[in-house]
Amino acid sequence: MPGAKRVLVLGSTGSIGTQALEVCAQSEELELVGLSAERSWEALVAQARAHCVERIALGDEHAAARAAEAWTDGRVLAGAEGLVTLVLESGAELVLNALVGSAGLGPTVATLGEGIDLALANKESLVVGGELVTALAEATGARIVPVDSEHTALHQLLAGQPPGAATRLIITASGGPFRGRVRAELEDVTVAEALAHPTWAMGGKITIDSATLMNKGLELMEAHHLFGVPYERIDVVVHPQSLVHGLIQMADGAMLAHLGPPDMRIAISYALHGGESAPLDITPLDLPSVGELTFEAVDLDAFPCLRLACEAAREGGTAPCILNAANEIAVHAFLAGRLRFLEIPEVIERTLSELGSEPVHSFESLYEADRQARALAGDAVARLG
């Protein structure tokens, strides 16, 4: 495809990754040059063949060895360093980071450090890396375009306004499968119930984050860093239909809203096209059949993860990194049946109080805080479980 943009997709076998490949297949302007996964090498090799890419990487070394035996049409890279090498060698003009968790931070840093534009689904790398990530992008001139329905909405709404014209940003939350329940009704919820998201089909980790509302806490931090707006001017409102994704409030009291079907391909396409709308095969909303749009306040008593995230965000330093690492360990343990739902915030709170926030001087101090928080959260899971 002469003139097409060279795109690298990290996490191509996941929920965002597979939808991104669909979007690329629909566009003459996007050419896939590399793909990666953690250990599902058979699916990755099938994608590499279907999309004729030049390079693939697998986080798991053993899986990478199997892939190298099965696929000899290009280069196979391995391990966490392999992901970074893939970014550096791919000649990509745009990297979509659709990895899950703080494992995405290294590739985010490598991408921005090279001055390559980043379509960022991996919100955890912005939560953890914060100002260091945005400063790096500023220094190299690389752009960060979000792949998150609320942030796509805000990005698009703000693009139409002079700087500073919006006085507040508002992101919506579906409320997840347990919306409307009080705390006592969350004691015995099962993994299957927590995974049954009412409006979005997503990977396991973000689906649990949506059930605890930690996802909205991570998104507050994501919005703060992406748009440079202080926390006092960013709100969360529950909107069960997931059709209004974000709103901005103007100085005169007007509110502008972004609506669309709950389909991540819209956000993915917008980011892959550099923050512009491009034709996409999507059925738009039919407003008369939508009928009602409703809004509610968040219940911080039933969903303490959002409160913990707000506190860590305001504290700053390594607190968001610690919160994120402890959450990853707790969510993993919940999914594996080793922790109860309401123990997820308990593990996070214990880890935050044991470790305490430190100022952030470098990415290395964040990697170290991430390591320590994972170890302490693992101990907390063992004590509770």
Q: Which one of residues 98, 272, 313, 331 is an interface residue with ligand NAD (CB under 6 A)?
A: 98
Question: How many residues sit close enough to ligand NAD to count as binding (CB under 6 A)?
Answer: 28
Which range, of 161-169, 202-210, 239-247, 346-354, touches ligand NAD by CB under 6 A?
Answer: 202-210
Based on the shown chain and the rule CB under 6 A, indicate whether residue 271 belongs to the binding site for ligand NAD.
Answer: no
Pairing of strands 144-146, 234-238: unpaired
Which residue matches tokens 């919005």? 223
Which range, of 129-137, 148-156, 174-182, 235-243, touches Mg ion by CB under 5 A?
Answer: 148-156
Q: Which one of residues 33, 87, 119, 148 is an interface residue with ligand NAD (CB under 6 A)?
A: 148
Q: Facing residues of 246 across strands?
A: 171, 258
Based on the shown chain and the rule CB under 5 A, indicate whether residue 209 belongs to the binding site for Mg ion.
Answer: no
3-state secondary structure 301-356: CCCHHHHHHHHHHHHCCCHHHHHHHHHHHHHHHHHCCCCCCCHHHHHHHHHHHHHC
3-state secondary structure 269-285: HHHHCCCCCCCCCCCCC
**Residue type at 119?**
A
Which residue matches tokens 């990977």? 203
Which range, of 25-33, 99-107, 220-228, 322-330, touches ligand NAD by CB under 6 A?
Answer: 99-107
Which of ligand NAD, Mg ion, none interacts with 381 (beta carbon under 5 to 8 A by kind)?
A: none
Which range, of 8-16, 85-93, 268-276, 293-301, touches ligand NAD by CB under 6 A?
Answer: 8-16
The Cα diameter of the chain in Å comes to: 63
Based on the shown chain and the rule CB under 6 A, indicate whether residue 37 belongs to the binding site for ligand NAD.
Answer: yes
Q: Is the CB of residue 326 less than 8 Å from the CB of residue 370?
A: no
Based on the shown chain and the rule CB under 5 A, indicate whether residue 148 belongs to the binding site for Mg ion.
Answer: yes
Based on the shown chain and the rule CB under 6 A, indicate whether residue 367 belongs to the binding site for ligand NAD.
Answer: no
Q: Which residue is nearest to Mg ion (CB)?
A: 148
Burial 285-296 (b: 16+ CB within 10 A, else e): eeeeeeeeeeee
Question: What residues line the site for Mg ion (CB under 5 A)?
Answer: 148-150
Question: What residues line the site for ligand NAD (CB under 6 A)?
Answer: 11-17, 36-38, 40, 59, 83, 98-100, 103, 121-124, 148, 200, 202-203, 205-206, 264
